[in-house]
Amino acid sequence: MNAEGRPLSVLDLVAMKAAGRRIVMLTCYDAVFARLLEQADVDVLLVGDSLNQVLAGHETTLSTTLDQMIYHAAAVRRGSRRTLVFVDLPFLTYQISIPEAIRNAGRVLQESGAHGVKLEGGSHMAETVGALVERGIPVIGHLGLTPQSVHALGGYKVQGRDEKAAERLLADAKALEAAGACAIVLELLPAAVAGRISKALTIPTIGIGAGPLCDGQVLVLHDMLGLNEQFAPKFLKRFAELGDAVRSAVRSYAAEVRDGKYPGKEHSFE
């Protein structure tokens, strides 16, 4: 919700940056969490292709399918009424050709009800971003560590550490802005580089492992809730330890079932 109490629109993202209001984004994959996050006043729900790792247990996002993304995005939209919902376009659904990118992004919006899509890549993707925006499909860009290029980048490591790489990232960000992107996710960048990019743009930057100078922040929901306990990078702060809470609750349930305490009379029908 914005300051006037109405649902956020894509146009509000730029206005939020201009007003100095930080954007709050979290990943979300289902209706239950979408409802909870909306009630907690999250601005943007990102249906990330990270679901391939978080929910399905794969090592990378590369095998995520478009049908998976549409399924989860539709569930998130059914659980939210006012929050912006963006959806990652999976690997090879937008890189092969612009017509294919338009067709696949259009399917996402048409079949899920989401408000826009996110795609990875810099200047070489600007033409694709422009084509989507011209057809009424809002786009968030993604620079820095781009998970769909993890093998080409040599793993999950910080990008933009030298001046040449930083200049290239800045040029990429400006190209995405000129193409019509409404925001850019900056992942695993030195804080100073992310701040430099953020200051140079009129559209907001949303950081993950990119320091405090971005215009907003995003984390994977299961990471920040302490459900994905094996993942503990430097940039992650856990705001809860729900893994412990889940184990405790399930142990209590199991004990009551085995002892015959549950279900009790109050849980039974006459």
Query: CA-CA distance, 25 to 8, in Å (whole number)?
Result: 13
Which of 187, 229, 241, 256 is catalytic? The answer is 187
Q: For residue 224, which amino acid is it?
A: M
Coil/strand/helix, residue 166: helix
Please check whether residue 188 is in contact with residue 158, taking contact to mean a CB–CB distance below 8 angstroms.
yes
For residue 198, the Cα-to-chain-centroid distance in whole angstroms is 18
Reading the block at residue 117, the tokens are: 């899509």
Helix axes 163-179, 126-134, angle to 10 degrees: 20
> Tokens 């090592």, residue?
59
Tell me if residue 127 is catalytic.
no
Please check whether residue 74 is in contact with residue 28, taking contact to mean a CB–CB distance below 8 angstroms.
no
Reading the block at residue 47, the tokens are: 């249906």
Q: What DSSP designation does 136 have?
A: T
**CA terminus-to-terminus distance, the chain:** 46
What amino acid positions are annotated as catalytic residues? 187
